Chains A and B, each alone.
Chain A
Amino acid sequence: MLELITFSTLNGLLYGMLLFMMASGLTLIFSMMGVLNFAHASFYMLGAYFGFEISRRIGFWPGFVVAPLLVGAVGALVERYGLRRVHRYGHVAELLFTFGLAFVLEELVNMFWGKLPVDYRVPPSLDFVAFRLFDTTYPAYRMFMLLVAVAMFAFLIAVLTRSRVGLIIQAALTHPDMVAMLGHNVPRIFMLVFGVGAALAGLAGVIAGPALVTQPSMAALLGPILFVVIVVGGLGSLAGAFVASLLIGLVQTFAVAINVSLADVVGAEAAARLGDLGTVTVAQIAPVIPYLLLVLVLIFRPKGLMGTRET
């Protein structure tokens, strides 16, 4: 039991941190520009594929550095030449733009790398067992993922609260017009934020690619859950996104481990009246739980856990 709890916690934290790497960019972009970026998970996918392509040619580590930068550049270009033009037609147009972009990116990846999963491997330098606990091994690569995610979180917090750029970004979050009046180039800040957000998602892709699967559907698999994270965490709140990511990571992982069904709680006879619903175990509905959370949060606390404004 202790073994299950330990490893579920580790797995949940890791999944949560991975979610956070993407959600942080998404929530920054949303709170600043008001754009719900449907293509955000696509940048994650691009990161994985760029990482794969570079690691295949020169090695994992160059890919680890270069791929997120490339994705960031793609993101900045998308903002500069796509979103900014669409911006003047309002939020719905922007939403539709990113929605379409997600499909275009997926199709492009299909064309370049095919629909089959690519063989993106863990680098040999990290391909060993980090520790062994209760006879279960934990791969070093997963520890590395966790470290990268934590480092990125620390870096982000430091930039946002301690640097000049961070202060301007924070100001632009709430008072974009005032910031522009003060002589700052708000469109450029937007481009920067979009680029950095994309780069963070790209970084998540680079490190998640070898551990999970690198395939064109990876964006579609992870995309919806990101929206859950930013809504539950509260729009515009980085801390909220962090808490929500970990919460969802842990909830999903632990739910898988729980074999309790309604029948076990209220008794088989009472549960039988509910039909199949009575005998379904928590483990079976694990994938739906985050969305249930989304619905409940929207009903009872539209601000999200730590948000400052209504959704």
Chain B
Amino acid sequence: MRSLVIAASLALGAAAAFGASLAQADNLKIGYIDPLSGGGASVGEVGLKHFQFLADEINAKGGVNGQQIEIVPFDGKTNPQESLIQAQKAIDQGIRFITQGNGSSVAGALLDFVAKYNDRNPGKEVLYFNYAAVDPVLTNDKCSFWHFRWDANSDIKMAALTNFLKQRPAVKKIYLINQDYSFGQSVRTQARAMLKEKRPDIEIVGDELHPLLKITDFSPYIAKIKASGADTVITGNWGQDIALLLKAAADAGLQTDFYTYYAGGAGGPTAIKQTGLSDRVFDIVEGNANDAPASAQKTEQEFRDKYGVTLWYPRAVNEMRMFAKAANEAKSNDPKAVAAKLEDMKVEGFDGGEIVMRKDDHQLFQDMFVRSFGPLKPGQKFDEEKTGWGWTTQGRVAGKDTLLPTTCKMERP
């Protein structure tokens, strides 16, 4: 009798769970796999808000082929193994689109995982949208049909930064400090190679790799930079690693220029203001709210009003809008059909300028902006983290000028 009761309740439970999954099956789910705890959480949390905001925007316009988009968060902990477990969990829930950005080591693992999964499970393919992992290898040697990248890869960013450095003859001694993993290593290698070519007179006085998202006090590194006599620091650090680096620089009164990839992230602007380095900290991004088109400024304002944070990822806007467009044009929410439509898709970018998803390697090309951070200039609307300081565009590189060749040999299904 007892076993019968158990069996019955199990069956009921299973039926209930099945019913629930049926009810939710109406939504088009996108799995968001990024750090929601640990050192990367400060960026992962804000990234999640972007995608929820963008899903709301698309849903308000009727969704995608009649389906509403639902963002399902998974905590990848900036850890490749953990992220793969989360990806499997997402797939088990029937999710067929995943998006991830933080950590190229994670991106590399996910890319492999998705490619292998799709090989084994024809008809149930999963598509992976990458909005921020910028290791060049992902769209070169390791490229995959199932992976699309909306962020400019690290080489493109470094090319833009070093071009900008060409116009600044005052820069003589550069210190490189990066995170010790695939992306950080690629930044240092490219910086060395490109500087050698474009500014052979520059001396590289230091080349540091430090553990990823584990340092709580950068003072020892700052003391070392100071001792090296560098006048400029180049860093690909992101998350707390950039905020804390700048904070330690402020404490020690380090007066160098900073060329960064991600100084705009959480805590970065506050720390820059502490350093007092007015318009001497630069970053390289795909948009600047302060001189974006009116439509982008409106979205920026809405985002800030709703969440109280800056819209860091114009590329996420491009990603979700292009995804919706591709699916609607394909008249299907099937990943394979969406992928086919995304290839070579050309649209107007969120921050203006034409953007193109190159078919050869699934890398998006877009205008890039070199910005500096300082007191708001007349007419500028957006400051950061209530500092009264904001970003000013110092240079704009047209998307077509960022085209780099790819070694990708895409295998198409």
Binding site for B on A (CB under 8 A): 1, 3-4, 7-8, 11-12, 15, 110, 114-117, 119, 129, 132, 135-139, 142, 211-213, 215-218, 220-222, 252-254, 256-257, 283-284, 287
Beyond A137-B253, A221-B214, whether A11 also contacts B223 by CB under 8 A is yes
A217 and B38: CB pair below 8 A?
yes
Beyond contacts A132-B253, A221-B216, A222-B216: 10 other A-B pairs, Cβ-Cβ < 8 A, are: A7-B219, A8-B220, A116-B41, A117-B267, A213-B244, A215-B41, A253-B220, A254-B220, A257-B220, A284-B210
Binding site for A on B (CB under 8 A): 36-39, 41-42, 45-46, 180, 208-211, 214-217, 219-221, 223-224, 226-227, 240, 243-244, 251-254, 266-267, 270
Q: In the complex, which residue of chain B has the Cβ closest to the Cβ of A217?
A: B38
A117 and B223: CB pair below 8 A?
no
A7 and B45: CB pair below 8 A?
no
Chain B residues whose CB sits within 8 angstroms of the CB of A220 once the complex forms: 38
Tell me the dominant secondary structure on chain A's binding face.
helix
Q: In the complex, which residue of chain B has the Cβ closest to the Cβ of A1?
A: B227
A217 and B251: CB pair below 8 A?
no
CA separation between A221 and B237, bound complex, in Å?
18
User: Which interface residue of B38, B220, B221, B251 has the most chain A CB atoms within 10 A?
Assistant: B220
Beyond A132-B253, A287-B214, whether A115 also contacts B45 by CB under 8 A is yes
A217 and B226: CB pair below 8 A?
no
B252 and A212: CB pair below 8 A?
no
Chain B residues whose CB sits within 8 angstroms of the CB of A7 once the complex forms: 219, 223, 226, 252
A116 and B45: CB pair below 8 A?
yes
Chain A residues whose CB sits within 8 angstroms of the CB of B251 once the complex forms: 137-139, 142, 211
A256 and B221: CB pair below 8 A?
yes
Measured between C-beta atoms, what is the minimum distance from B181 to chain A in Å?
12
A114 and B223: CB pair below 8 A?
no
CA separation between A220 and B77, bound complex, in Å?
13
Measured between C-beta atoms, what is the minimum distance from B76 to chain A in Å?
14
A129 and B253: CB pair below 8 A?
yes
Chain A residues whose CB sits within 8 angstroms of the CB of B216 once the complex forms: 212-213, 218, 221-222
Partner of A136, one of B208, B209, B252, B270: B252
Q: In the complex, which residue of chain A has the Cβ closest to the Cβ of B180?
A: A284
Chain A residues whose CB sits within 8 angstroms of the CB of B42 once the complex forms: 115-117, 215
Measured between C-beta atoms, what is the minimum distance from A212 to chain B in Å?
5
Partner of B223, one of A8, A129, A221: A8
A137 and B208: CB pair below 8 A?
no
CA separation between A221 and B180, bound complex, in Å?
17
CA separation between A191 and B388, bound complex, in Å?
49
CA separation between A3 and B217, bound complex, in Å?
18
User: Which interface residue of B36, B38, B244 has the most chain A CB atoms within 10 A?
Assistant: B38
A117 and B45: CB pair below 8 A?
no
Chain B residues whose CB sits within 8 angstroms of the CB of A132 once the complex forms: 253
Chain A residues whose CB sits within 8 angstroms of the CB of B45 once the complex forms: 114-116
B219 and A3: CB pair below 8 A?
no
Beyond A115-B42, A213-B216, whether A256 also contacts B209 by CB under 8 A is no
CA separation between A222 and B42, bound complex, in Å?
18
B220 and A215: CB pair below 8 A?
no
CA separation between A11 and B251, bound complex, in Å?
12
B240 and A4: CB pair below 8 A?
no
Q: In the complex, which residue of chain A has the Cβ closest to the Cβ of B254?
A: A136
B209 and A284: CB pair below 8 A?
yes
Beyond A212-B216, A213-B243, whether A115 also contacts B252 by CB under 8 A is no
10 smallest beta-carbon distances between A and B, as pairs = A137-B253, A4-B227, A256-B220, A115-B41, A7-B223, A11-B219, A253-B220, A212-B216, A139-B251, A116-B42
21 A-B contacts (beta carbon < 8 Å): A8-B220, A11-B223, A12-B220, A110-B37, A115-B42, A116-B41, A117-B42, A117-B240, A119-B270, A136-B226, A137-B252, A211-B251, A213-B216, A213-B240, A220-B38, A221-B214, A257-B224, A257-B227, A283-B210, A284-B209, A287-B215
Beyond A117-B266, A213-B244, A283-B208, whether A136 also contacts B253 by CB under 8 A is yes
Chain A residues whose CB sits within 8 angstroms of the CB of B180 once the complex forms: 284
Measured between C-beta atoms, what is the minimum distance from A68 to chain B in Å?
20
CA separation between A12 and B209, bound complex, in Å?
20
B41 and A217: CB pair below 8 A?
yes
